[in-house]
Amino acid sequence: MAKQTSVCADQVLPGLCVSPMTDKALTERQALEQVQRGDREAYQGIVKSYMQTAYYIALGFVHNQQDALDISQDAFVRAFRKIKQYDPEKRFFPWFYRLLKNLCLDHIKKRKRMAEVPLDDVQLFKEEKDNQELKEIAWKGIEALPIDQREVIILRYFRQYSYEEIAEVTGKPMGTVMSSLFYAKKRLREILKRYWYSE
């Protein structure tokens, strides 16, 4: 069983203590406006809202738990440092996602080989959730995909994003998202075919 990895806000920005949300909690937009005015504590709710999503997206790209944790934390730090560039009229996550994705791509370029890790905490296929061998084969297939196809697989099946949400986050037209997902699934099916029909 893989050890569950978690991200805490005080790991991202030391000194911040994430307190339980209350009825008086700030809206995301209000919090981000305060962050832009230099309020570090207002950032804690933003980190808490997105830290798990950021971790699993990074894990999908780099396929290594510790690297995914480091990258997701780095992305929050960089977002905080660049927060004045953020337009509060727009949703935060698509802007943050681009920072996260770029860090993941930079990491992939620097490494020639990605470490293999158990994937007990990431369910790729509902019918085969207990088949570790299939998970490892699936990861190899995902890693073999072009980045744009890998990206939509991660967002669609790791985070269960709708086509509309994927288009918003990636900044790509809906047709491009659907096409990328279609060809990514087709390629994965070819890789997995002998396992599906082996019985």
Q: What is the CATH number of the domain that holds 140?
A: 1.10.10.10
pLDDT, one tens digit per residue, over 95-121 is: 999 999 999 999 988 875 444 444 444
* Claim to verify: residue 141 and residue 56 sit in the same structural domain: no
pTM for the structure as a whole: 0.69
104-123 burial: b if 16+ Cβ within 10 Å, else e: beebbeeeeeeeebebeebe
Domain total in the chain: 2
Query: Residue 155: which domain range?
Result: 123-199
Q: How far apart are CA 96 and CA 51, in angstroms?
A: 11
pLDDT, one tens digit per residue, over 17-58 is: 444 433 345 688 888 999 999 888 889 889 999 999 999 999
User: Considering 70, 86, 116, which residue would you say is the last residue of a domain?
Assistant: 116
